């Protein structure tokens, strides 16, 4: 077994209760294979987002994506935090996410971020099925991204996402990033967030 294969096994979540295998296998790499994602596979990812549930079927999510080597890709990189810039160009595809802030009636859409999250969740499961790693980033200058991509009023940039096939060369990562990439995955126990009957903490 290669070190990479062993790492992928090590990254399988050690769950307390059995869950869907793709969910256990999903993790967020910072290094990817140097291989372009074909257009049909990119379309599959966003088709998964298309079929996510949303409040009143408003589908408030929006995505701008770009391939490595394009001007748009470089603009996305330019909007990211310095930490994310240190590794993100390993990814063959980048995207930024946004949501529509108001309903068709002009009211604040309180559920828009929730619905964007559901769409990205669909993308993550679909990507895992296709052996595509997805790394989501909060470290983005959303105001700069709004200007760079001429996002119209009424839409708000939220996050950035890196996509690429699992199996990248870990020698590309510095010591800090390598430690983050290989450390054991952790999650808070259910008892800290799922309460039966009443709020517990």
**CB burial class (10 A; 0-12, 13-18, 19+) of residue 143?**
exposed
**pLDDT by residue (tens digit) across 31-57?**
999 999 999 999 999 999 999 999 999
Distance between CA atoms of residues 179 and 169, nearest Å: 14
pTM of the full predicted structure?
0.94
CATH fold for domain 17-183: NADH Oxidase (3.40.109)
What span, in angstroms and rounded, lies between the C-alpha atoms of 15 and 85? 32
Q: What is the pLDDT of residues 54-68, one digit of tens each?
A: 999 999 999 999 999
Per the CB < 8 A criterion, the answer to whether 123 and 133 are in contact is no
> So where are the chain's domains?
17-183
């Amino acid at each position: 077994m290669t070190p990479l294969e062993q790492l992928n096994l090590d990254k399988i979540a050690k769950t307390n209760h059995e869950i869907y295998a793709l969910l256990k296998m999903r993790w967020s790499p910072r290094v990817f294979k140097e291989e372009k994602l074909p257009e049909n596979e990119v379309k599959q990812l966003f088709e998964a987002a298309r079929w996510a549930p949303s409040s009143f079927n408003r589908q408030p999510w929006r995505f701008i994506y770009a391939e490595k080597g394009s001007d748009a890709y470089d603009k996305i990189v330019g909007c990211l935090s310095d930490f994310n810039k240190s590794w993100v160009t390993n990814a063959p595809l980048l995207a930024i996410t946004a949501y529509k802030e108001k309903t068709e009636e002009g009211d604040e859409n309180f559920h828009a971020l929730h619905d964007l999250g559901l769409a990205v969740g669909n993308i993550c499961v679909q990507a895992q099925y296709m052996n595509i790693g997805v790394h989501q980033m909060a470290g983005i200058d959303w105001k700069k991204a709004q200007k760079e991509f001429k996002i119209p009023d009424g839409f708000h940039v939220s996050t950035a996402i890196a996509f690429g096939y699992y199996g990248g060369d870990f020698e590309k990562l510095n010591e800090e990033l390598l430690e983050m990439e290989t450390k054991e995955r952790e999650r808070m126990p259910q008892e800290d967030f799922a309460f039966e009957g009443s709020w517990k903490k």
